[in-house]
Amino acid sequence: MAEKEKVYAADAEAVRREGRSIVAANGMEIGIFYVDGRFYAYRNMCPHAGAPVCVGHVTDTRLPSQVYEYQVGLEGQVLRCPWHGWEFDLKNGRHLADESIRLRSFEVVEEEGRLYLTMGSNKKSLP
């Protein structure tokens, strides 16, 4: 089983203030988002075509409604890929139309105002 390590990622208050931060950790770009009082982290790579998904627009989605009536859902919770418009729920990383597709996620831990990501170690173990 892969060894897990805690990697410093960002200042918690800065991410709260800005809503997101894109950082480098263990050789990957990771997007950290602050949504409804919680932090979420995803690899900055869309599963569709490898786009930098975490720089995409954070928006909402439309719910079924009557003609000329517009109801919004998942407000501030939908990440739209900048290349082809694929949409993902920021609270679970799942694609809105096909839940079998998801962004690669990482656990975020806040300690003393600092955010850490729980990641698999890049270290090779000896036999």
**Residues in a beta bridge with 114:** 11, 111
Please report the pLDDT score of residue 126 as a whole number. Answer: 42
Specify the CATH architecture of the domain 4-119.
3-layer Sandwich (2.102)
Task: Give the contacts of 10 (CB within 8 A, at least 6 positions apart).
Answer: 21, 23, 32, 114, 115
The pLDDT of residue 125 is: 44
**DSSP letter (8 states) at residue 21:** E
Dump pLDDT digits (tens) for 8-24: 999 999 999 999 999 99
Positive or negative: CA dihedral 12, 9, 54, 93: negative
Nearest to 119 by CA among 18, 32, 37, 56: 32
Query: What is the per-residue pLDDT for 36?
Result: 94
Quick one: pLDDT at residue 74?
72
The predicted-structure confidence for 76-91, as pLDDT tens digits, reads as follows 889 999 999 999 999 9
Q: 20 burial class (0-12, 13-18, 19+ CB within 10 angstroms)?
A: middle
Q: Extract the residue ranges of the chain whose pLDDT is less than 50.
A: 1, 123-127
Q: What is the pTM of this model?
A: 0.84
